[in-house]
Amino acid sequence: VLAAADAQAARQNLVANAYNISASGSPVFTADRGYTGDGVGAYLNTGAVPASLAKFKQNDASIFSYANTNAQDASNDVGTLTGVTILLKPYTVTGTRIDARVNSSATGQGAVVATALGLTGVSRSSSSLMDIVRNGAVLNTVSNTSVAPEAVQPITLLQGGGSYSVRRLAVGGFGAGLTLQNVADLYAALNTYLTAVGAN
Question: What would the pLDDT profile of 30-76 be if each residue is shown by its tens digit?
Answer: 999 999 999 999 999 999 999 999 999 999 999 999 999 999 999 99
Q: Which residues pair with 37 in a beta bridge?
A: none
Determine the pLDDT at residue 94.
Answer: 85
Are 99 and 153 in contact by the 8 Å Cβ rule? The answer is no
Q: How many C-beta neighbours within 10 Å does residue 150 have? A: 22
Tens digit of pLDDT for each residue in 69-109? 999 999 999 999 988 999 999 999 988 999 999 999 999 99
Give the residue from 161, 172, 165 showing the smallest Cα distance to 37.
Answer: 165
What value does the mean pLDDT of the chain take?
A: 96
111 confidence band (pLDDT: 50, 70, 90): confident
**φ and ψ of 191, to 5 deg:** -65, -40
DSSP single-letter state for residue 95 = T
pLDDT of residue 191 exceeding 90, the answer is yes
Determine the pLDDT at residue 95.
Answer: 87
- For residue 26, what are the contacts with CB-CB under 8 A and spacing of at least 6? 38, 42
Are 39 and 72 in contact by the 8 Å Cβ rule? The answer is no
Maximal CA-CA distance, the chain: 41
Determine the pLDDT at residue 161.
Answer: 92
